[in-house]
């Protein structure tokens, strides 16, 4: 197995473009190394992105932050401006694993591992985040909801990698929240994850909203009817009940020992409603 640690994006792309062997990007390694150790996957080539400045820094890009795909969770949860702008994304990332895992695990790895239960992915979707992808033809930018295409499968080609995640800067009246349900108190995979982002005016009227669910379908779900349910309201009880109903209707979950279809569907409604209330309060609507 060959291990390489490029210093620039173009060096990394060059390595990724070279051969057709089984190549893997290494970010924190908290998924990749577990998969390799368990014999589930054995790449012939590992490309470690942690020496690439664009992938390991949180940069200011005008109205947005560019969060390097290789920045660990621990660093994100200490970034005051990001916490202020995206408390939901940061709390979703912070739920991943333990203190040790937080020192390694990244947003980029959580996204590209393409698990339907990945905690940060619904939160990034609700935040309308995009990712910057580098490949042989230069850079392209993709909405987060277009990255995971099936369990364990992403739309990132073999000769591409995610360099950074773009998140908007703080905006008054906008806030997000993420809640998940796990059968244990921690260190478990979401049975359901719900992320909500709302933008409200000074009177508490909803101007915009985006809602995404995890672990209830083969890929993360965007509740398409959420904006029309929430916009123009103060997220009163009746509105939130409609949102919960829409959340349940958008579920297509698996049935396994960790939760039946009925259970996951019901929890999706409950969590979506609660996350919406939290986002609304954070936005100043309480
Ligand atoms: C004990 C433990 C607890 C965990 N708990 C949770 C949890 O609660 N919630 C949760 O969602 N996950 C959990 N995970 C899974 C894992 O920690 C997360 O998915 C983490 O965010 C992965 O990030 P990473 O940087 O370690 O990814 P890596 O392991 O480095 O990479 C994961 C996959 O993505 C690819 N990849 C990584 N970065 C890029 C990139 N920039 N561009 C293209 N491809 C890339 C890799 O090749 C690999 O296939 C847990 C894992 C462990 C071991």
Which of 110, 166, 213 to probe ligand 1 with, by most ligand atoms within 8 A of CB? 110
CATH number at residue 89: 3.30.465.10
The percentage of residues in the chain with a pLDDT greater than 70, rounded to a whole number, is 100
Tokens for 90?
A: 């940061």
Per-residue model confidence (pLDDT) at position 253: 92
Q: Write down the mean pLDDT value for the chain.
A: 96
pLDDT at 89: 98
Query: Domain check: are 111 and 28 in the same one?
Result: yes
* pLDDT exceeds cutoff 80 at 187: no
In the chain, where do the E strands start and end? Answer: 2-4, 23-26, 45-48, 58-61, 64-68, 130-135, 138-143, 148-150, 153-154, 161-168, 174-181, 192-200, 206-214, 221-222
Best residue among 68, 107, 113, 159 to mutate for probing ligand 1's pocket (most ligand atoms within 8 Å of CB) is 113
Q: Say if residue 138 is in the same domain as residue 195.
A: no
Q: Do residues 154 and 148 make contact, with C-beta atoms less than 8 angstroms apart?
A: yes
215 lines ligand 1 (CB under 6 A): no
The pLDDT confidence band at residue 275, using thresholds 50, 70 and 90, is very high
pLDDT of residue 139: 98
Query: 20-43, pLDDT tens digit by residue?
Result: 678 899 999 999 999 999 988 889
> Which residue has a Cα nearest atom 25 of ligand 1?
28
36 and 98 in a common domain: yes
Q: Is the pLDDT of residue 82 over 80?
A: yes
Residues 145 and 206 in one domain: no
* Residue listed under structure tokens 């309308």: 128
How many distinct structural domains can be found in the chain? Answer: 2
Is 153 in the same domain as 223? Answer: no
Query: What is the reported pLDDT for 69?
Result: 98
Kindly indicate the confidence band of residue 215, based on its pLDDT and cuts at 50, 70 and 90: very high
What was the pLDDT predicted at 27?
Answer: 98
State the pLDDT confidence band at 128, using cuts at 50, 70 and 90.
very high
pLDDT value at position 199?
98
Does the pLDDT at position 242 exceed 90?
Answer: yes
Shared domain for 144 and 263, answered yes or no, is no
Take atom 41 of ligand 1 and give the residue whose Cα is closest: 162
CATH of residue 235's domain is 3.30.390.50
Residue 47, token pair as written in the block: 């490309």
User: How does pLDDT run across 83-111, given as a tens digit for each residue?
Assistant: 999 999 999 999 999 999 999 999 999 99
Q: Is the CB of 219 under 6 A from ligand 1?
A: no
* DSSP single-letter state for residue 106: B
Among the listed residues 280, 135, 103, 145, the one whose alpha carbon sits nearest the alpha carbon of residue 209: 280
Looking at the fold, whether 179 and 198 belong to one and the same domain comes out as: yes
Last residue of a domain, one of 168, 187, 210: 168
Q: 269 and 154 in one domain? A: no
Ligand 1 in reach of 31 Cβ (< 6 A): yes
167 has pLDDT over 80? yes
Same domain assignment for residues 158 and 179: no
* Residue of 161, 139, 176 lying closest to 61 (CA atoms): 139
**What domain range includes position 192?**
174-282
CA distance 169 to 81: 8
pLDDT(185) > 80: no
In terms of domains, do 25 and 86 share one? yes
Final residue before a domain boundary, out of 168, 197, 223? 168
Clarify whether residues 198 and 163 are in a common domain. no
Same domain as 145, residue 201: no
* pLDDT classification of 239: cutoffs 50, 70, 90: very high
pLDDT value for 283: 98
**Residue 164's pLDDT is what?**
98
Last residue of a domain, one of 168, 191, 217: 168
Residue nearest to atom 32 of ligand 1 (CA): 109
């Amino acid at each position: 197995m060959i291990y390489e640690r490029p210093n620039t994006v173009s060096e990394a792309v060059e390595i990724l473009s070279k051969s057709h062997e089984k190549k893997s990007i290494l970010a924190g390694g908290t998924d990749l190394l577990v998969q390799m150790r368990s014999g589930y996957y054995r790449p012939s080539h590992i490309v470690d992105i942690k020496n690439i400045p664009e992938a390991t820094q949180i940069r200011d890009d005008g109205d947005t932050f560019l969060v390097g795909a290789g920045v660990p969770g621990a660093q994100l949860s200490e970034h005051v401006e990001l916490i202020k702008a995206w408390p939901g994304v940061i709390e979703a990332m912070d739920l991943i694993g333990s203190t040790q895992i937080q020192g390694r695990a990244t947003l980029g790895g959580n996204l590209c591992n393409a698990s339907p239960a990945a905690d940060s992915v619904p939160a990034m979707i609700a935040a309308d985040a995009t990712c910057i992808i580098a490949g042989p033809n230069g850079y392209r930018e993709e909405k987060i909801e277009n990255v995971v295409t099936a369990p364990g499968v992403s739309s990132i080609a073999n000769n591409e990698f995610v360099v950074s995640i773009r998140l908007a800067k703080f905006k008054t009246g906008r806030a997000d929240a993420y809640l998940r349900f796990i059968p244990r108190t921690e260190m478990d995979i979401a049975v359901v994850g719900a992320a909500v982002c709302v933008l409200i005016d000074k009177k508490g009227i909803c101007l915009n909203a985006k809602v995404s669910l995890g672990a209830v379908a083969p890929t993360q779900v965007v509740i398409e009817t959420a904006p029309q349910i929430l916009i123009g309201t103060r997220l009163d009880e009746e509105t939130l009940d409609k949102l919960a109903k829409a959340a349940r209707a958008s579920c297509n979950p698996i049935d396994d020992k960790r939760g039946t279809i009925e259970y996951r569907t019901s929890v999706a409604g409950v969590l979506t409603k609660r996350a919406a209330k939290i986002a609304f309060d954070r936005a100043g609507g309480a």
